A = this chain, B = another copy of it.
Amino acid sequence: MKAVVNVYLKEGVLDPQGKATRHALESLGFKNVKEVRIGKQIVLDLEAKDKEEALKEVEQMSETLLANTVIEDYDIEIKE
């Protein structure tokens, strides 16, 4: 089973990597970009009985390791 976890900075948390990317895009001629935010996309291949079990387990992984919940939010998508 495949699970995709998107981890991104909470609103209000500064994103210097995104800011640098916006500036780089601007200097390359892409003037229409107002904001860039950069997050992580974590793709897991895991064994699980069903989608519910997989979701529960990936939630635990996200809370304990994959995301820093002080500054980051995440969403999870379970695929077949």
What residues of chain A have their CB less than 8 Å away from a CB belonging to chain B?
A: 6, 8, 18, 21, 24-25, 28, 30, 32-48, 57, 60-61, 64-66
Contact = CB atoms under 8 A, between A and B. Distances in A.
Counted per complex, copies of this chain come to 2
Given A33-B45, A40-B41, A41-B41, 16 more contacts: A8-B43, A18-B42, A21-B42, A21-B65, A24-B65, A28-B64, A30-B61, A32-B48, A33-B46, A36-B43, A36-B44, A36-B45, A37-B43, A38-B40, A38-B42, A38-B43
Contacts of A30: 46, 57, 60-61
Contact of A47 (B21, B25, B34): B34
Contact of A39 (B35, B41, B65): B41
